[in-house]
Structure 1
Amino acid sequence: MSDRITVVGNIATVPERRQTGTGIPVAHFRLATSQRHRDAQGAWVDGTTNFYSVSAYRQLAEHALASLQRGQRVIVTGALKIRTWEVGEKKGTEAEIDADALGPDLQWGTSRFTALKRETAAPTTDASWSAPGLPAGGPNGPEDGGADPDAVDDEVEPDWARSPLAEPAPF
């Protein structure tokens, strides 16, 4: 099991497009974080800088690559993995975050969010389909003299419109 972590920092490298062996898109970048504090004289002093390798996958990767740039201040949340490595005589430890969510830190600027529409499957209009034991079109469907299920009744009010939450607030 991996630990969950949320980190705020600056993107230290240009976000890079990669892909897994199975073709899944990956966005990868390094994130630099440091804590600032006041010294005894009241001046701001930067603390130790920590670096994290951040990877985002699939749709999050695509959105990150289209939105993020080196130098931006961001918030990253995801699974923390600590890995040790060895190359020749050099050894080290690397902190990696598999991101679940990424976004700009609005403490330092503004952002305009653009929601993208998800592709949805087209509704099935095959009239030959029926549940087992039922006539094509279902019970009381067009084939057996019932109402057309595709017909729209403009007089019917949706259930949500009758909800007390749909009423305007009395302000």
Structure 2
Amino acid sequence: MNETVVCVVGNVATAPVYRELAAGPSLRFRLAATARYWDREKSAWTDGHTNFFTVWANRQLAANAMASVEVGQPLVVQGRLKVRTDGREGQQQWASADIDATAIGHDLSRGTAVFRRAVKPEQPTAQPRPEPDWETPGPAATGDGTLAQQGSEPATVT
């Protein structure tokens, strides 16, 4: 497939919105990525243009991000870029850049984080079933050392 995979470093701009859907959990938030450059005339770092992305996370990534992400935190987001354009009658056309996230993490160049492995909910344990007896009974010995026939009487063929 020809997908555009991007890695964006930025700050969380809006509070994450978490929803439980039929397909599983979903999370959405906006990420602001501002270009910075060294201005030689001012001898200082200067902010450039800010790009805003709508980040979408699904399933376990959504649940983990909801527990970890807050407004203002620096993040690194990797995922598939989707650019949508839309326009309604009488209104100006607009474009939206969405990232379908495959990985989200805190930018450790700007702070520290503590990782906690997600605990999966325990499944109810079923009662153990008894082990089946797979051995077939062998012929039983009689008191005189001969083998006795087991089961019903032999069928007669007429």
TM-score by length of 2: 0.74
Matched, 1:13 2:7: no
Moved over 6 A (4+): none
Residue 129 of structure 2, aligned match among 126, 129, 135: 126
Per-residue deviation at 1:123? 8.6
Aligned residue for 1:153?
none
> Which has the larger share of helix?
1
- The one-letter code matched in structure 1 to 2:94 is G
Matched, 1:55 2:56: yes
Matched, 1:27 2:30: no
Aligned residue for 1:96?
98
User: 2: CA distance between counterparts of 1:124 and 1:101?
Assistant: 38
Question: Which 5+ residue runs of structure 2 have no aligned equivalent?
Answer: 137-158
Aligned length: 132
Matched, 1:115 2:117: yes
Per-residue deviation at 1:126? 3.1
Per-residue deviation at 1:24? 1.6
Residues 64 and 118, structure 2, Cα contact 8 Å, conserved in 1:
no
User: 1: CA distance between counterparts of 2:110 and 2:82?
Assistant: 28
User: 2: CA distance between counterparts of 1:67 and 1:40?
Assistant: 38
The one-character-per-residue Cα deviations of 1:58-116 (angstroms, maximum 9, x if unpaired) are 11111111110011000000111111111332211111001111111111111111112
What secondary structure does 2:113 align onto?
coil
Per-residue deviation at 1:35? 1.3
Which segment drifts farther, 113-122 or 78-87?
Answer: 113-122
> Which has the larger share of strand?
2
Aligned residue for 2:36?
36
Cα 1:19–1:85 change in 2 (3 A) is farther
Cα 1:123–1:75 change in 2 (3 A) is farther
TM-score by length of 1: 0.69
Per-residue deviation at 1:128? 4.8
Question: Which 5+ residue runs of structure 1 have no aligned equivalent?
Answer: 130-134, 137-142, 145-171
User: 1: CA distance between counterparts of 2:121 and 2:66?
Assistant: 20
Higher relative contact order (CA 8 A, sep 6+): 2
What secondary structure does 1:87 align onto?
coil
What secondary structure does 2:61 align onto?
helix
Aligned-residue sequence identity (percent) comes to 39
What secondary structure does 2:109 align onto?
coil
Residues 77 and 101, structure 2, Cα contact 8 Å, conserved in 1:
yes
